[in-house]
Amino acid sequence: MASHKSAEKRARQTKRRTAVNTARRSRVRGSVKKVEEAIKSGDKKAAAEALRAAQPEIQRGATKHIVTKNAAARRVSRLAARIKAMA
């Protein structure tokens, strides 16, 4: 447990940041899950629409350091490739 003022403040900040990061991470995961469900359903138009909505969320996760920049680009690329292959 924190034993002086600055450590107590740090503990409060960490708690707050953890909550924010958890929420952001779940938004990214949720948006990716929606795209994957649309791909599974076989509806290419819905899948493309879901990806269009998910892409900014994933990129925002990268700028906020929830995922690395390369991981975000890789996820978007792989989802786009799966949608393109649906033909």
Which pLDDT value is given to residue 46?
95
pLDDT in tens, 5-58: 999 999 999 999 999 999 999 999 999 999 999 999 999 999 999 999 999 999
31, burial (CB in 10 Å: exposed 0-12, middle 13-18, buried 19+) = buried
Domains, the chain, in order of start with CATH, read 5-84 (1.20.58.110)
Q: How far apart are CA 74 and CA 54, in angstroms?
A: 13
**CA 45 to mean position of chain CA atoms:** 22
CA distance 74 to 19: 26
Among 49, 42, 45, 52, which Cα is nearest to 76's?
Answer: 52
User: What pLDDT is recorded for position 3?
Assistant: 87
The number of residues in the chain equals: 87
